[in-house]
Structure 1
């Protein structure tokens, strides 16, 4: 079963300071520091990615930069559907195509870096086929799901990890 890790971007600057263009809101110094600690801990625990996808927003790209610094030569793609209010169906089509090209799809490990409430909504849709509003994902936190080897994925994912950053640093 392929593994999917949903990672929320690290602590970012206050929204009020970026009212004209929230897409440019960066991580704070504390956000960079904590995100690096989380990434190092996950790496030390043996987590690896075959692909890391990130939202195009600055804070998510900065989070992915930290992960790639820690994880080494992990391939990274910017994915428009990971921006706020992205379309899960469109994203799933792309991931399905990527998996068909992967040498061992059943062992594939994919990390996606995005935003709330989209990441928990997507996780719940993959697990239950609908959003229930019960999962919580803190900044720099992680949700791990196992996906079935073939579609449909919606409603057939298995939650195996939900961890706040405070347990990793």
Structure 2
């Protein structure tokens, strides 16, 4: 079974912040870094694992991918096709040729909304709300012929962070 995790990057600073001159340069805010790092621990508790990460090369997506990957340590590839104006056709080709069974894709709105909708419904006009850090897990996905996938879960960053907190609280309680 093939599994595709789809993540929107974490909370980022705006153009005009110190050292940020273009959309490409936007980096995660300090709060965004903390949330994604905590989210990674929640994903670990959930049992989420990937064999490879494909990430947009934009700074905020790169940082998100690196933080999410910290507990897993999978190979990480920065893919121009996921950057400024991703094309569904280009990403289809990339994913279709990957031997890995579990892939995490980190990118941007509106592309991830269109990709998720396309895999679940065959249409691109269905909407999903991907706030920063939100992730979807699609199982048994395929991109050739008739695109399809089964939604295993769709969680906000806050829910994933809460999973990490609950685990931490259980461990603290068990040690008492």
TM over 0.5: yes
Q: 1:132 aligns with which of 99, 106, 125?
A: 125
Change (3 A) 1:148 1:28: closer
- TM-superposed CA distance for 1:27, in Å, is 0.3
C-alpha distance 149-10 of structure 1, shift in aligned 2 (>3 A)? closer
Partner residue in 1 for 2:153: 161
Structure 1 residue ranges without an equivalent (≥5): 103-107
Q: Is the 8 A contact 1:127 1:159 kept in 2?
A: yes
Alignment of 1:110-121 (within 5 A): 110-121=103-114
Q: TM-score, normalised by structure 2?
A: 0.83
Task: Sort the Cα spacing of 1:166 and 1:117 in 2 relative to 1 into closer, same or farther, 3 A.
Answer: same
**Distance change (3 Å), C-alpha of 1:36 and 1:84:** same
Q: Provide the residue aligned with 2:11 in structure 1.
A: 11
For these two proteins, the number of residue pairs brought into alignment is: 160
Greater C-alpha Rg: 2
Q: Which residue of 2 aligns with 1:45?
A: 46
Contact residue 124 and residue 130 of structure 1 kept, 8 A: yes
- Equivalent position SS for 1:168: helix
> Are the equivalent residues in 1 in contact too, given 2:9–2:133 (CA < 8 A)?
yes
Structure 1 pair 92/124, CA: closer, same or farther in 2 (3 Å)?
Answer: same
Aligned 1:1-169 pairs, distance under 5 A: 1-17=1-17, 20-71=21-72, 73-99=73-99, 102=100, 108-148=101-141, 151-154=144-147, 156-169=148-161
Asked if structure 1 preserves the Cα contact closer than 8 Å seen for 2:8 and 2:133, the reply is yes
TM-score normalised per structure 1: 0.86
Pair 1:61–1:162, CA change in 2 (3 A): same
Question: Is contact 1:10-1:139 (8 Å) kept?
Answer: yes
Structure 1 vs Structure 2 CA RMSD: 1.9
Q: Secondary structure at the match of 2:32?
A: helix
Structure 2: give runs of 5+ residues left out of the alignment.
162-176
